[in-house]
Amino acid sequence: MIMVKIRTIELGEFPILLAPMEDVSDPPFRALCKRHGADLMYTEFISSEGLIRDAAKSVQKMDIFEYERPIGVQIFGSDVESMVHAAQIIEKVNPDILDINYGCPVKKVACKGAGAGLLQDIPKMVKLTEAVVKAVNIPVTVKTRLGWDDQTKNIVETAERLQDIGIEALTIHGRTRKQMYKGEADWTLIGAVKDNQRMKIPIFGNGDIDTPEKALLYKNRYGVDGIMIGRASIGNPWIFNEMKAFLKEGKRLKRPTLKDRVEAATEHLDFSVQWKGERLGIVEMRRHYTNYFRALPHFKEYRQTLVTSLDLTEIKQVLTSIQEEYTFV
């Protein structure tokens, strides 16, 4: 097999990528995903307007670490000047890749003409992308969707236009903006983009890949260069190595034990507190516990403390109690 590359960045023969997820793909979570096999990761998406105004939350999202490489920083916005300025700010923190988000479907982004909103104005998307490509020296990649709705699934043509103005990889989510995250992701057009003889850049597929078996099936069926994992990695950073082992050897790795899960949740909590401060780190960790301990019976009483307590010692005692109380099946 041929090595997948973004410019000179080697990603392996079939890379498994971590998706940029708002309030999820922060440094504490990325550290776990990297350790468990993610080949390329992206930050949470960053507002170009927030970044040029020096908004603290936007600036903090640019935090990247050497061990994460290769790492991409993702931005969104609808104003060409602001996007160019933001791209130049991001380049100074020295990520390997700059990614532009044309896929976020949420109202506060898409209805302001950013994210998936630009699927309603492909000429503007192309113009904006070209301006960013010209403004920075690092590779620019794009993440987008099939189209705005069922009548505008123009991704095959859009992909050509984006490649022509200089993007160096494209990730496609197999839904339209109107679908949000409902229904099933349709990879047919992702496969059509990859099959297009004009396309030379790596094409990554995204949407509903949640098992190693499905990763292999979609790899073979649609011929993509790699797969981006989003929601299936939440509380399950082991999925990257599990998929890679299955793709390589056709074997399922042993599922993480309860001890593995407790250790991962504890490490995630520690890094979250270290990076965000104690109170915010504890609060923002709350959304992850249910995912780490999803299959645990009678988890409710433990969960109650984990999602209400602001006492770090108490939370860690609960995590230790979980390990002592259960044998994970």
Catalytic site residues?
Answer: 104
How far does CA 114 lie from the centroid of its chain?
18
Query: What single-letter amino acid sits at 247?
Result: L
Q: CB–CB of 31/24 below 8 Å?
A: no
Reduced to 3 states (helix: H, G, I; strand: E, B; else coil), residue 203 is strand
The number of beta carbons lying within 10 Å of the beta carbon of residue 313 is: 8
**Is the Cβ–Cβ distance between 138 and 100 less than 8 Å?**
no
User: Contact at 8 Å (CB) between 226 and 204?
Assistant: yes
- Run of H or E including 285: helix 278-292
CB 64 within 8 A of CB 91: no
Between CA 200 and CA 98, with CA 225 as vertex, the angle to 5 degrees is 75
**CB 196 within 8 Å of CB 155:** no
Q: Residue 23: what are its φ and ψ, rounded to 5°?
A: 65, 10
238 three-class SS: coil
The 10 Å Cβ neighbour count of residue 53 is 11
Q: What is the 3-state secondary structure (H, E, C) of 50-75?
A: HHHCCCHHHHHCCCCCHHHCCEEEEE
Q: Is 76 helix (H, G, I), strand (E, B) or coil?
A: strand
Question: Is the Cβ–Cβ distance between 110 and 149 less than 8 Å?
Answer: no
90's enclosing H/E stretch is: helix 80-91
Amino acid at 16: I
